[in-house]
Amino acid sequence: MKRKLVVDVDTGVDDAQAIMLALATPTVDILAITCTHGNTSLDNSCKNTLRVLKVCKRLDIPVYRGSSEPLLGRVFHACDFHGKDGLGDAPDPNAPGLDLLQKEGAIQALIRIVDQNPGQVSLVATGPLTNLALAVKLDPRLPEKLNSLYIMGGNTESRGNTTVCGEFNFVADPEAAYIVLNRFSCPTYIAGWEFSCRNKLPWSFCDAWLAQDTDKARFMKRIFSHTMKMAQTERYQKEVVEGSGFASCDSYAIAAAIDDSFVTESEKVAVTVELEGTNTRGMMVLDYMELLKKKHTVTILKKVDLDRFKDMLMSSLK
């Protein structure tokens, strides 16, 4: 039986890589893609998702429009890193239009799809968690009907990449991250910032990955050029953990949802999100002392099978 995924994205370059990885996996059935604000505006996120599906010849997958802003606070975008449009400012005049979006909203679609497939859907969230927070507010029983939840976001050692102590996806909507980590009781797996950095691939792999003679590889090379340059700047090198390399952050969460053997080391711990700290708002908090008295723990990813990851990424552009 194929694994059923719903993917919630803020499609920038890293989300595009993750979506393409999932689409290239024959054991996976993507039931829907829901879009949110984050790396770029909601409209761009939707357009970018459709562009990815077009190059992969999978415009049959329904795409839904979700939240355009966080629950509270100001809007964050990652335009300096992913380009103003989220895909490296490499426009395509023949890109699909927003008329291809489903009329149903993302939050309603998420609730409906999980209801229709109880216990079967793995939800993968690679952007701010606004859609998920609103969904659980509308349907408090949603988490118990999910098979599992995979999140790219948060941090485990208070290393920030957006604020002093905050990872981008959680900082972009701290209240949503707080709600999700405190309301979702299904098996939950988190691919955090430091984990992604420590499981980087060498840039030499990236060169070989992009050198494949396919339309997908040429598309990825165009949209990834800006981000590759940014990832090798002095500013970015101060943010990352343990040196340079290729970290497709969102792809780790997708790969974990696809293949149980991908994760080789993890730990279980209760977590929450700081909402009030001057320097720590949006930071994920790990409760090793069990002071929060929470029954639900999440699985924090620590190490992965990098050879398996290379194979999955290579296959995604074939």
Distance (Å, whole) CA 181 – CA 189 = 11
The yes-or-no answer on residue 43 being catalytic is no
* Residue that is written with structure tokens 């008329």 in the block: 99
Distance (Å, whole) CA 128 – CA 152 = 9
Catalytic residue (choose from 8, 10, 14, 85): 10
In terms of C-beta distances under 8 Å and separation of at least 24 residues, what long-range contacts does 96-100 make, across chains too? 96/47, 96/50, 96/51, 96/53, 96/54, 96/59, 97/47, 97/50, 98/43, 98/46, 98/47, 98/50, 98/65, 100/50, 100/59, 100/63
Distance (Å, whole) CA 72 – CA 224 = 31
Please report how the helices 306-316 and 203-210 are oriented relative to each other, as an axis angle in degrees rounded to 10.
30
Per 3-state DSSP, the chain is made up of helix, strand and coil in percentages (nearest 5) of 40, 15, 40
Distance (Å, whole) CA 215 – CA 171 = 35
Residue 238: alpha-carbon gap to chain centroid: 22
**Active-site amino acid positions:** 10
